[in-house]
């Protein structure tokens, strides 16, 4: 309640400011306010409200019926307000507070934060027209296999400096550096039923170069280089998993449960996408992305993980991820699209050999990537799927689809488990199957409803997992989402 009152107060303040400054008018997408000082200055207010009802029975950590918690349901809410100040001489300031909370929860647990806050300039540098963005911002690139905004959940933004420009026609280049983590914090970890606390210092940076070449309106090629440098020092040698439960988990990498960890990770990748081409009189589309990783993780202190004592230094090699999808859109009623796809990410079967083959998905957006249940990230996993989407009765307001996915662990003995689940297998890498059904309805251009149901049938990997007794009952996830943009 306290957070809601704060947000409402902010809205009231903006409204009073608009009245005091100049006459206001509502224009598509937000509130437009001209300032008296300069007719070229204006403020645009925008926002998004997302409410999602969730029902879950069993999950990736417990496939046993009649265990607690076996059945859960809740309503999750997220509200964002955006204030865009367009100033003179090509300068723009954007501030976006966000509040997320669960219906009926204690207001003390409401999460109010500044999701984005940046200033944007448009200088000429070496004769190129550029866009320079400084401050907290989303870094969303390509298919979001490595850099996304975690749009389905609380979101993900970076404290970063970003420069965008066009070196030649059809080529867009983006350079950025992000401060992923800095400072000292006290952490707690409950992995493997052990609860420990300890202080740690985390100093992590992400550097990136991303190029996109557009062959046409329907075809493009991304080529990118990413470099993550993380220096994590634990004040308590007994501390476990300093940052492993947040989007910054990758900062600790293989040393998540250790102290004095120095990780240097390079990622090289490319993505090709063609949205539409004709073959044999039919419409098709295709996309493929490959990323490889190299580098080194060094730690000083005795690493302790559920696969035993490891080497102090690991070379990251033979680590890769691959996604591809081939789609067919026949010219028949209801506008169907049938797609076949696969997604692979390497794992490691023996981290004691001095090499790390586990691929780290960095800041991936998991939404819809590996099923509607969102059980996995693209790490130590093999997935293939078939997806059918269509527009019932050729309605522009209705959409629907069904998906089948099969999952295998790339390496059943990888200490991180498949999909960053920290589950250890035995002798079988068959995780299970997932069946998804969804339907969407657009009430108007600003409001959308979406209903999704996911059914997961566990197989031998889950049944035989050595981490704990997971059971073999199916898991269910049902969620209804209302999203309003204004």
Report which of residues 51 and 235 the model is more confident about.
51
Name the strand (E) or helix (H) holding 315. strand 313-329
**Other residues' Cβ atoms within 10 Å of the Cβ of residue 85:** 16
Query: What pLDDT is stored for residue 465 in this prediction?
Result: 64
Q: Tell me what percent of the residues of the chain surpass a pLDDT of 90.
A: 52
- What's the CA gap between 295 and 312, in Å, rounded? 14
How many domains are contained in the chain? 1
Query: What pLDDT is stored for residue 85 in this prediction?
Result: 95
Whether 347 is in a domain gets the answer: yes
End-to-end CA distance of the chain: 22
Name the strand (E) or helix (H) holding 75. strand 71-87
Which of 29-38, 187-196, 362-371 reaches the highest mean pLDDT? 362-371
Whether 2 is in a domain gets the answer: no
Q: Is the pLDDT of residue 8 over 60?
A: no
φ/ψ of residue 393, rounded to 5: 55, 25
Domain limits for position 390: 122-485
φ/ψ of residue 107, rounded to 5: -60, -20
**Other residues' Cβ atoms within 10 Å of the Cβ of residue 344:** 20
Query: What pLDDT is stored for residue 1 in this prediction?
Result: 44
Query: What pLDDT is stored for residue 474 in this prediction?
Result: 87
Q: Coil, strand, or helix at residue 341?
A: strand
Whether 185 is in a domain gets the answer: yes
Whether 101 is in a domain gets the answer: no
Whether 18 is in a domain gets the answer: no
Q: Is the pLDDT of residue 268 over 90?
A: yes
Q: Is the pLDDT of residue 136 over 60?
A: yes
Closest by CA to 274, choosing from 224, 215, 223, 322, is: 215
Q: What is the pTM of this model?
A: 0.82
Which of 223-232, 318-327, 390-399 reaches the highest mean pLDDT? 318-327
Domain with 299 in it: what CATH number?
2.40.160.100
Average pLDDT, the chain: 80
- What's the CA gap between 431 and 382, in Å, rounded? 10
394 pLDDT band, cuts 50/70/90, is confident
- What's the CA gap between 6 and 97, in Å, rounded? 11
The answer for residues whose C-beta is within 8 angstroms of residue 137's C-beta and 6 or more apart is 116, 118, 157, 158, 160, 162
Query: What pLDDT is stored for residue 475 in this prediction?
Result: 87
Report which of residues 105 and 46 the model is more confident about.
46
Q: Is the pLDDT of residue 27 over 70?
A: no
Task: Using the Cα atoms of residue 454, residue 105, residue 246 and residue 226 in order, give the sign of their dihedral.
Answer: positive
For the stretch 274-295, pLDDT in tens is 999 999 889 999 999 999 999 9
The answer for residues whose C-beta is within 8 angstroms of residue 486's C-beta and 6 or more apart is 30, 46, 47, 48, 49, 446
| Average pLDDT rounded to a whole number, residues 247-251 | 37
**Other residues' Cβ atoms within 10 Å of the Cβ of residue 208:** 22
Q: Is the pLDDT of residue 4 over 90?
A: no
Q: Is the pLDDT of residue 3 over 70?
A: no
Query: What pLDDT is stored for residue 226 in this prediction?
Result: 97
Query: What pLDDT is stored for residue 367 in this prediction?
Result: 80
| Average pLDDT rounded to a whole number, residues 147-172 | 94
Whether 6 is in a domain gets the answer: no
Residue in the block written with tokens 């300890």: 198
| Average pLDDT rounded to a whole number, residues 94-105 | 93
Whether 263 is in a domain gets the answer: yes
Q: How far is CA 468 from the centre of its chain?
A: 28
Q: Is the pLDDT of residue 37 over 70?
A: no
Q: Is the pLDDT of residue 250 over 80?
A: no
Whether 233 is in a domain gets the answer: yes
Query: What pLDDT is stored for residue 351 in this prediction?
Result: 67
For the stretch 82-95, pLDDT in tens is 999 998 788 999 99
Query: What pLDDT is stored for residue 248 in this prediction?
Result: 36
């Amino acid at each position: 309640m306290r957070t809601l009152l704060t947000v409402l107060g902010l809205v009231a303040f903006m409204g009073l400011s608009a009245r005091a400054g100049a006459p206001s008018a509502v224009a598509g997408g937000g509130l437009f306010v001209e300032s008296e000082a300069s007719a070229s200055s204006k403020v645009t207010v925008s926002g998004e409200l997302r409410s999602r009802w969730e029902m879950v029975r069993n999950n990736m950590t417990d496939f046993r019926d009649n265990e607690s918690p076996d059945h859960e349901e809740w309503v999750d809410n997220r509200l964002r307000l955006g204030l865009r100040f367009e100033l003179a001489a090509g300068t723009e300031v954007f501030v976006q507070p966000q509040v997320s909370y669960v219906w009926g929860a204690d207001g003390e647990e409401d999460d109010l934060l500044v999701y984005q806050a940046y200033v944007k300039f448009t200088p000429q540098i070496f004769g190129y027209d550029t866009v320079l963005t400084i401050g907290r911002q989303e870094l969303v690139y390509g298919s979001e296999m490595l850099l996304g905004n975690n749009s389905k959940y609380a979101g993900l933004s970076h404290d970063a400096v970003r420069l965008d420009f066009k070196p030649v026609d059809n080529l867009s280049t983006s350079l950025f550096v992000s401060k992923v983590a800095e400072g000292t914090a006290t952490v707690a970890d409950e992995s493997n039923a052990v609860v420990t606390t300890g202080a740690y210092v985390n100093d992590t940076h992400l550097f990136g170069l991303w190029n996109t070449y557009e062959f046409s309106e329907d075809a493009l090629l991304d080529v990118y280089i990413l470099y993550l440098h993380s220096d994590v020092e634990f004040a308590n040698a007994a501390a476990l998993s300093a940052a492993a439960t947040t989007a910054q988990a990758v900062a600790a990498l293989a040393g998540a449960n250790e102290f004095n960890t120095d990780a240097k990770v390079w990622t090289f990748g490319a993505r090709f996408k063609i949205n539409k081409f004709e073959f044999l009189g039919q419409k098709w589309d295709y996309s493929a992305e490959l990323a490889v990783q190299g580098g080194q993780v060094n730690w000083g202190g005795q690493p302790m993980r559920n696969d035993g004592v490891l080497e102090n230094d690991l070379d990251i090699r033979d680590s890769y991820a691959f996604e591809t999808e081939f789609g067919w859109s026949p010219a028949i009623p209801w506008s169907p699209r049938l797609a076949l796809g696969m997604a692979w990410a390497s794992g490691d079967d023996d981290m004691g050999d001095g090499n790390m083959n586990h691929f780290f998905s960095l800041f991936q957006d998991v939404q819809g990537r590996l099923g509607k249940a969102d059980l996995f990230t693209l790490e130590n996993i093999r997935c293939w799927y078939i997806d059918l989407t269509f527009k019932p009765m050729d309605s522009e307001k209705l959409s629907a689809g069904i998906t089948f996915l099969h999952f295998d662990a790339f390496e059943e003995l990888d200490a991180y488990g498949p999909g960053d689940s920290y589950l250890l297998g035995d002798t079988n890498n068959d995780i299970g199957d997932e069946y998804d059904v969804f339907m969407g309805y657009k009430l108007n251009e600003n409001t959308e409803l979406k209903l999704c149901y996911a059914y997961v049938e566990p197989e031998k990997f889950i049944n035989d997992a050595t981490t704990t007794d997971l059971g073999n009952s199916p898991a269910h996830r049902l969620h209804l989402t209302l999203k309003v943009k204004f």
